[in-house]
Amino acid sequence: MQSFYTDGSGLATVMAIINRTPDSFYDQGATAQFDAALQRAADVIAQGAGIVDIGGVKAGPGQYVGAEEEIDRVVPLIQAVHERFPKLHISVDTWRSEVAAAAIAAGADLVNDTWAGHDPELVEVAGQFRVGYVCSHTGGVQPRTRPYRVHFDDVVADVISETTALAEKAVACGVPEQKILIDPTHDFGKNTFHGLELLRRIDEVVATGLPVLMALSNKDFVGETLDRGVGDRVAGTLACTSFAAARGVAAFRAHEVAETLDTIRMTAAIQGKMAALATTRGLA
């Protein structure tokens, strides 16, 4: 199925991460302030991002952020980005239905529910406004908690079962089918062995026919695999990106937008799915 959030070129879309949080695990609050976040949006759009994903709460454990504060962080930025770039797809990264409703009113057209329907009304909000919805997999972990001795008989089968069931629910609630993405959701409720197996067998997830979003960027499973700290995981992330792009993943949520897009394009060129962009060597 062709995703509403791809550009029709056949190449995967890059979803750029913008965190209005002072304690983000990767950028350590670089875009917590409004002006910095707005500049980040302009920069990643210039680099080729097809979606910007705006969040106001750190995914992992940390300072409590209530719904009103989360709205105050994300809604003004969504409104400003939408006004400047009205054709851009804007995603709100939230698990709260009231935040999603306010974000949609401000211009968001995709709800990135990274906590797998923890708030059952969230998918209903997406359906009510007929915007997109990301169906994720957490294995039942509570928002903002880390996995502890998690076990799956078959993690890939569990991911497929949970995300496709959520996709069916989303359609029943009114979300247009072409606006649904499914996300295996690396590190959420999973360990590194699970993360690697999901990549190894990602073709099985793609085979569901639903467009797949992968959020691989600088994740702990990359760090543990390579024994690299948070700031040294880009190469590992891009290796994962190339592997998944070659197998039909539709979108990648990323910190490094230009590098991710280069990886997607190079992979497509190797496969013969894209022409080289500037060929002069040995031709003159």
Q: What is the 8-class DSSP label of residue 248?
A: T
Q: Which of 73, 190, 201, 253 is catalytic?
A: 253
Distance CA 135, CA 64 (A): 24
Residue owning tokens 């304690």: 23
219 belongs to the catalytic site: yes
179 belongs to the catalytic site: no
* Six-digit token string for 202: 């990602």
Yes or no: say if 203 and 245 are a contact pair by the CB < 8 Å rule. no
19: helix, strand or coil: strand
Distance CA 5, CA 85 (A): 15
Q: Which of 179, 190, 219, 233 is catalytic?
A: 219
Q: What is the 8-class DSSP label of residue 211?
A: P
DSSP-assigned letters across all residues of 122-169:
HHHHHHHHT-EEEE---TTPPTT----S---S-HHHHHHHHHHHHHHH
Buried/exposed 56-68: b ≥16 CB within 10 Å, e otherwise: bbbbeeeeebeee
Distance CA 261, CA 47 (A): 8
Active site residues: 219, 253
